Amino acid sequence: MKITKAVIPAAGLGTRVLPASKALPKEMLPIVDKPAIQYIVEEAAAAGITDILVITNRGKGVIEDHFDHSLELEAMLERRGDEKTLKILNDVANLANVYYVRQKETKGLGDAVLKAKDFVGDSPFAVLYGDDVIIGEKPAVGELCEAYEKYGKSVVGIKEVPDELIVKYSSLSVKTLDSKTYAVSDMIEKPSIEKKLSNYAILGRCVLDSEIFGILEHTPLGAGGELQLTDAMRELAVKKGMIGVDFSGTRYDMGNKFGILKANIEVGLKHPETAEQLKNYLKELADTL
Ligand code: UTP
């Protein structure tokens, strides 16, 4: 079944990147010249997703404005004959049908996803975490959708992470199916090192059966007193089995300060307008460190 709907949770408080995220959602923080959430919407659109629901709270206005036309700016660019910039702006507004709903209380990622129940209906859908930007040749969520189509089971994007990170993420019980695909039979959110199932963690992307909503509705609050998506996904994995895909792109965590710096440097080193200048600058700087 072709996946055409996606949910982007972007209602977290972003406490790790305050004060940058005080008045602006962290999902709007830039990587060189585009806000993080634009990379995510572009990834979804490249994977054939046409309808996207963004879960917001404060800062909803700026996200809505970003994916809308800006008539004033566009008229000004037209007067100046700046076709190139005009096209860039038009392309952003035409990426996908983007809808918005508010999560009124920040009660966790599971609660945010539950807000998408009516939008999703009965079909499988993708979730792209709003602060996880993944850049690669192929859209990561597209790789997950392909696995869903092949195996007919919910899919999570996974990567192997060191011990110091597994305790902050989720840990999965996996069996290898092929070089990048795994069968997932169990998972635990934020385990202690003694309780980890492996060093494979869910990172930023999943494709879920709509059954997840019924499960979320009866899932008790978990780690941090929040409704954890991982706890509901665990029930689905234990009941029906799940697939893990070690996606090919590079993930940047825009929810922490170092992730933001890394994303800007690595993307800046590839951007045609900054690559040369940044490379020379970094080389000079490195000599002084
Ligand atoms: P995080 O756990 O990284 O978000 O959630 P957070 O709560 O903003 O982080 P800190 O610890 O305070 O810095 C991953 C994604 O889920 C969204 C976030 O916006 C982020 O994109 N999220 C999280 C929600 O939409 N609602 C929530 O209640 C929690």
Read off the tokens for 240.
């029906």
- For residue 10, the CA-to-ligand 1 centroid distance in Å is 7
With a cut of 70, which residues of the chain have pLDDT below it?
A: none
**Token pair 């809808």 in the structure block, residue:** 99
Name 220's Cβ contacts closer than 8 Å, sequence gap at least 6.
231
**Are 51 and 6 a contacting pair, CB within 8 Å?**
yes
130 lines ligand 1 (CB under 6 A): yes
What is the β-pairing status of strands 51-56 and 5-9? parallel
pLDDT computed for residue 266 by the predictor:
98
**Integer Cα distance of 28 and 24 in angstroms:** 7
Q: Provide CB contacts within 8 A for 72, sequence distance 6+.
A: none
106 lines ligand 1 (CB under 6 A): yes
Cβ proximity of 155 and 166 under 8 Å:
no
Supply angle C-alpha 118, 122, 125, rounded to 5: 85
Using an 8 Å Cβ cutoff, are 278 and 268 in contact?
yes
226-243 per-position pLDDT tens digit = 999 999 999 999 999 999
Instruction: Tell me how far the alpha carbon of residue 108 lies from the centroid of ligand 1, in angstroms.
Output: 7
Instruction: Report how far ligand 1's centroid is from the alpha carbon of 15 (Å).
Output: 9
Tally the residues of the chain.
289
Q: How far apart are the first and last CA of the chain?
A: 53
Q: What's the pTM value of the predicted model, to 2 decimals?
A: 0.96
Does the C-beta of 25 come closer than 6 Å to ligand 1? no
All residues at 6 or more sequence positions from 74 whose CB lies less than 8 Å from its CB, including other chains: 86, 89, 90
Atom of ligand 1 nearest to the CA of 132: 21
Q: What is the 3-state secondary structure (H, E, C) of 157-179?
A: EEEECCHHHHCCCEEEEEEEEEC
CA-wise closest residue to 248 among 174, 179, 167 = 179
* Residue labelled with tokens 């007067």: 79
The pLDDT of residue 24: 93
Does residue 224 contact residue 115 with C-beta atoms inside 8 Å?
no
Query: Is any atom of ligand 1 closer than 6 Å to the C-beta of 255?
Result: yes
| Cα–ligand 1 centroid distance for 106 (angstroms) | 8
Taking the centre of ligand 1 as the mean of its atom positions, its distance from the CA of residue 44, in whole angstroms, is 19
* Top mutation candidate among 17, 105, 115, 131 for ligand 1, by most atoms within 8 Å of CB: 131
pLDDT at 123: 95
Pocket test for ligand 1, best of 7, 13, 133 (most atoms within 8 A of CB): 13
pLDDT on residue 70: 92
